[in-house]
Chain A
Amino acid sequence: MTATLERLPLLVRDWITGFFPEPVRWLVSGLLAIVAILAVFGLYFAYLTLAERKFLGRFQNRPGPNRTGPFGLLQPFADAVKALTKEDIVPQAADKLLHFLAPCLVVAFGLISFAVIPFGRYLIPVDLDAAVLYFFAAGVSSELALFMAGWASHNKYSMISAMRALAQLISYELPLLLAVVPVIMLSGTLSTSKIVVAQGGWTFGIIPHWNVLTPWGFAGFFIFMIAAVAETNRSPFDLPEAESELIAGHLTEYSGFKYALFFMAEYFGMSALCGLGVTLFLGGWQAPIDILQVVPSYVWFMVKLSCVIFCLMWVRATLLRLRIDQLTRLAWKFLVPLGLINLGNAAFWHLSADWSGPLQIVRWAISAAVIVIPFVLIGRTLSSGLAPRTYRYAT
C-alpha cells in the first residue's frame, strides 16, 4: 500500500506514456513532468497567494479574503480573471521588447529551478550531477529579469528598484552559496537527490539525521533562509519593490497579466528556494520519524515546504524593511563572515566524525561555540550604537 502510494505518480506517468510509441516515450515523460510541475505549482501558487493573504490577515487580526466562494477559496481564480481582463499598459518611453520579455523571463527562470528539486523519493524531474550549481545559475537569472523590468520601464522608481535588485543580488548570492557549501562538503555531492538520501536514517527512530539538526547545519539553514528571503525579494528584504518608498519598484509600470506574472514569479522563486532549503537542510522528502514513513515522501516534502513558507509569511507579518545600505551591510559584514566561519565549522564536523562517547559532547560544544560566539560578537558590532533609550522628563 505504502509502496503503491509512493510510486503513484510514476504509475500514472507510465500509464500515460504507455499510449505512446516507444521512441517518443522519453519525450512524453519529460513533458509530463513539466505539465505536472506547472499544474501542481500553478495551483500551489494560486492557493499560496490566498493562504498568504489569509494568514497575514490573521496575523493582523482580520479575517482575510472570505467573499469569493466558501472561505474565499475561489479568490485566486477571481484574481486571475481580474488580472487577465485588465488593460495592459506599456509606457510610451519604455523599451517595449524588454518590457514584454521581463515578466516572461522572470517566470521562466523561476520555473526552471524546479527541475532539480527532488519532490519525492522517485520524483525528481532531472537528476543532474551538478544540480545545486544549476539551481543557482537559474536563480540568479531571475534577478536579472527584475533588472530588465526596472530598466525597461523607463521610470525613475523602477530604475532605482533595478539598481537595488542588482545590489541585493550581488550581496546575497554569496551568503546563499556559502550556506550551501558545507552541505555539499559533508555529503560529498552536488546532486540534490543524493544530498537528501545522505540525510536519511534516524537515531532511536525519532531523531532524524537532517542537516539542520547539527550546529553547522542550523547556522547554515539560518544563513540560507535569510539570504533566500533576500533573493526572493520578500519582506523584510523587499527593497526592489519597497512599497512605501518606490511605489511598486520595478512593478510600477506593469499592469494586468504582466503584473500577475511577476507575482507568480515571486511565489515560484520563493517555493523553489524554500524547496532547496528543505532539500539541503530539512531532509527533503524524508519523514521526520521512522514510523511516519507510511506517508508518501512527496507529501512530506510539501508539508515541509509549506511550513517553511508559513514561517516566511510570519516574518513578513512582523518585520519592517531594511535600508539598502543596511541590507548590504548585513550581507557583507554579518552573513558572509558567518558563512565562512560555518564552512570551517563544517570542516571540523567532518574531521571529527569518528569522535564518540563523551567526545561526542565535546564535538557538539565546540561546533556550537564556533558558530554562537562569532554570531554574538559580529552581531554586537553590527548593532553597535543601537539600543532602546531611556528618556527624561521636563519638569
Chain B
Amino acid sequence: MLGSGIIKGLAVTAKNFVGSFHDPERLPTVEYPEKRLTLPEAYRSFPFLVFDGENAIDGLRCVACKMCENECPPQCIYIIPERDEKGRPVKKPKVFDIDLSVCMGCQICVEVCPFDSIKMDQVFEVAATNRFEGLIAHREMLAKSNTYYHQIRPTEAAEVDTRLAEEKRLAEEKAKAAAAAKAAAAAKAAAAPKPVATTAPASATAPAAAPASPAKPAVAAPSPSPSSSSSAAAPMAAAPKPPATTP
C-alpha cells in the first residue's frame, strides 16, 4: 500500500529520536572542549624531537643526518647542522624547523630516522595567529623530553628505550674492546655529546648479543678523545642502524 515505506521510515526516525535520550549508542556526540576522548596510542599529529636528560637542546637525540629532510614527502623539514669553532660539523642540529602548515603528518620521517630521535606528537590544537611564522615549529618548540614521549606512547617508548639501551651497551662493549685492543695506540672513543637515557630496563639478551658486536663494522667514525673514561657522555652513543651512520 502506498505510504507503508514512509511509515516504516518514520518509525526508524522515531526510534532514533527516543533512543537519543537514553541510548548513548544513538547520541554519539562528544562535546569537545569540555569532554575529550582519550586518544589511542597510535594517534599521530605532527612530529617532535625527543631529548634525553634535562637540557632540551643538548639532550637532543638528533644528529642532523638529514635523513628525514630528504625523505619527507612534502619537504617541510629544514635542517642546518651545528658546527664547532673550527667549522666542522657537530652531530647536532643548529636549525631544525618543521613547517606545520605543510606537514601532512605522514610519519615517514619517524620511520626513516635511524636514531629514534623524531617521533609523532599527539598535540592537535596547533592554531596560530600568523600563518607563516606562527606555524613554523623551531628546534626549541619541537624538543620534548623522553618522559613526555613515555606519557603519550608508553608501549612504543618502552620499546625504543630497550632498543637504545641495547645499542648503547653494544657500543660500549665495542668501544671497550676497541680501547683494549688499541690501548697502546691513541685512545679512541666517540665524543658525541649525546647521552642516552639511563632509565632503560636492562636487556635480557645481553650475553647473546656480545659476540655480535665485533661483527658489526665500526660505523661511527671514532674521534680521538684525550680521556676515554672520564664521563658518562664519553662513549659514542649513536650507532644503531648501519646505513644511517655510514659517513
Question: What is the minimal beta-carbon distance from B29 to any residue of chain A, in angstroms?
Answer: 5
Nearest CB of A to B24, in Å? 10
- The residues of B that contact A122 with a CB separation of less than 8 Å are none
The segment from B11-19, B39-47, B165-173, B210-218 that touches chain A is B11-19
Asked whether any CB of chain A lies closer than 8 Å to the CB of B10, the reply is yes
The answer to whether B1 and A318 touch across the interface, beta carbons within 8 angstroms, is no
| Contact partners of A61 in chain B: CB under 8 A | 16, 19-20, 26-29
- Inter-subunit contact A379/B3 (CB<8 Å): yes
- Known A-B contacts A58-B21, A379-B3; A314 and B13 likewise in contact (beta carbons under 8 Å): yes
What bracket does the count of chain A residues touching chain B fall in?
10 to 19
B2 at the interface (CB under 8 A from A): yes
Main SS class of interface, B: helix
Answer yes or no: A380 CB below 8 A from chain B CBs: yes
Residue on B nearest A66 in the bound complex, by CB: B31
Q: How far is the CB of A231 from chain B (nearest CB, A)?
A: 19
Q: Is B127 an interface residue (CB 8 A)?
A: no
Please tell me if B204 contacts chain A, counting CB pairs below 8 Å: no
Bound-state CA distance A55–B13 (Å) is 11
Q: Which residues of B contact A376 (CB under 8 A)?
A: 1-2
Asked if B20 and A380 make an inter-chain contact with CB atoms under 8 angstroms apart, the answer reads no
- Chain B residues contacting A62 (CB-CB under 8 Å) are 20, 27, 29
Complex Cα–Cα for A379 and B7 (A):
15
Interface string of B118-152 (1 = CB under 8 A from A): 00000000000000000000000000000000000
A379 x B16 contact (CB < 8 A): no
Contact check, B17 vs A55: say whether CB atoms are below 8 A apart: yes
B25 to chain A, nearest CB (A): 9
Contact of A59 among B6, B13, B31 (CB under 8 A): B13
- In the complex the two chains form, what is the Cα distance from A34 to B204 in whole Å? 88
Q: B242 at the A/B interface (Cβ < 8 Å)?
A: no
The answer, among A59, A315, A319, for a CB contact under 8 Å with B17, is: A59
CA distance A60 to B13 in the complex (A): 8
Q: Which residue of B lies closest to A334 (CB)?
A: B2
Give the residues from 298 to 320 in chain A that come closer than 8 angstroms, CB to CB, to chain B: 314-315, 317-319
Complex: A58 Cα to B19 Cα, angstroms: 9
**Cβ–Cβ contact B2 & A58, under 8 A:** no
* A58 and B17 contacting across the interface, CB-CB below 8 Å: yes
**Given A58-B20, A63-B31 in contact, is the A379-B2 Cβ separation under 8 Å?**
yes
Q: How would residues 147 to 187 of chain A score, 1 for a CB under 8 Å from any chain B CB and 0 otherwise?
A: 00000000000000000000000000000000000000000
CB B65 to nearest CB in A, in angstroms, measures 49
Contacts A61-B20, A61-B28, A63-B29 given: A318-B2 contact, CB under 8 Å?
A: no
A59-B16 contact given A319-B9, A379-B2, CB 8 Å threshold: yes
In the complex formed, the residue of B with least CB distance to A383 is: B2
- Tell whether A263 is near chain B: CB-to-CB under 8 Å: no
Q: Which residues of A contact B28 (CB under 8 A)?
A: 61
In the complex, the chain B residue whose C-beta lies closest to that of A388 is: B5
Contacts of A375 in B (CB 8 A): 2
CB contacts (< 8 Å) of B13 on chain A: these are 59, 314, 317-318
- The listed residue with most A CB atoms (<10 A of its CB), out of B6, B9, B13, B27, is B13
Across-interface contacts of A60 in B (CB, < 8 A): 16
Task: Decide if A382 is an interface residue (CB 8 Å cutoff).
Answer: yes
What separation, in Å, do the CA atoms of A319 and B28 have in the docked complex? 23
Give the CA-CA distance A63 to B30 in the complex, in Å.
10
Most buried by B among A317, A318, A319: A318
Binding site for B on A (CB under 8 A): 55, 58-63, 66, 314-315, 317-319, 375-376, 379-380, 382-383
Q: List 10 A-B contacts (CB under 8 A).
A: A58-B21, A60-B16, A61-B26, A61-B27, A61-B28, A62-B20, A63-B31, A314-B10, A317-B17, A318-B6
